[in-house]
Structure 1
Amino acid sequence: MGSIEMEARCYGVRFEADGADLFVELHAQDTLNRQQVLERVVAILEDRHGMAVSQNELGAMTRVVHSDGSTLLAWLSISGNSIRQSLDDEGLDEILTCLAFLAFPPVVETSAICTDGKVTPLN
């Protein structure tokens, strides 16, 4: 019996802050709702099994690995500037604090990106 390979979905969370935005990108095989995405981000940030900085044409991003192998990317973007900057432990803790205590900044956006590039907001 052959298994059907599900395509990973890309979920994004943006935290709007004064002068800069914090971003998290999560890839998952599952179809997740907003609450599930936020819970999974919290779980990965609480159990940082490994961290590395990835560099590409968009800038630097922090890759965080959970002990179960799931990963997320996190970065900072100064308002008006599209270049990404990696986050250190302090920056990741700031995201975790917002999520864990539900003390969200004024605007939190969650979205899913389909393979065709279409972005869908999550409720």
Structure 2
Amino acid sequence: MTQQLYSVRFETEGADLFVELEAEAGLNRQHLLARVVATLEDRHGMETIPSSERLGEVTRVIHSDGSTLLAWLCISGNNTRQALDDDGLDEILTCLAFLLFPPVVETSVASRDSLAMALT
């Protein structure tokens, strides 16, 4: 099966988190996110590597099955990549968990007569 490079980007305030995973072609969104989560949970190997002379550094995370992903942080408006530590990878993992398993959120407000109304 052919390999394809998948990219996941998380927009955050003032910075963006990026993940790239090389995997078999034809993964759908759910399968891709599940593979990234599995790699970040396993973290068989982790190291900081230079991405290129001008682009900065990235974090390479290796799964025990040999699959590899790259993760980095870019401050908005700047192409320089910054390697992520455990906290940064945990932040990505948290974002992915919410994308994979979106929580059921019910927002309501109580009126003066104590009846709750769902907010839309």
Q: Size of the alignment, in residue pairs?
A: 99
Which residue of structure 2 lines up, in the alignment, with residue 52 of structure 1?
47
Displacement of 1:21 in angstroms is 0.1
2:62 to 60, 65, 71: 65
Cα separation, 2, equivalents of 1:30 and 1:8: 5
TM-score in terms of structure 1 length:
0.76
Find runs of 4+ consecutive structure 1 residues off by over 4 angstroms. Answer: none
Structure 1 unaligned regions, length at least 5: 1-5, 105-123
1:11 aligned counterpart, secondary structure: strand
1:95 aligns with 2:102: no
- Percent identity over the alignment is 70
Which residue of structure 2 lines up, in the alignment, with residue 109 of structure 1?
none
Cα separation, 2, equivalents of 1:85 and 1:15: 15
C-alpha RMSD over aligned residues: 1.5
Displacement of 1:31 in angstroms is 1.5
2:44 aligned counterpart, secondary structure: strand
For residue 32 of structure 1, what is the amino acid of its counterpart? L
Structure 2 unaligned regions, length at least 5: 103-120
Q: Quick check: which has more Rg, 1 or 2?
A: 2
Displacement of 1:101 in angstroms is 3.0
1:1-123 alignment, distance < 5 Å:
6-55=1-50, 56-57=52-53, 58-102=55-99
Identify the structure with bigger relative contact order (alpha carbons < 8 Å, sequence gap 6+). Answer: 1
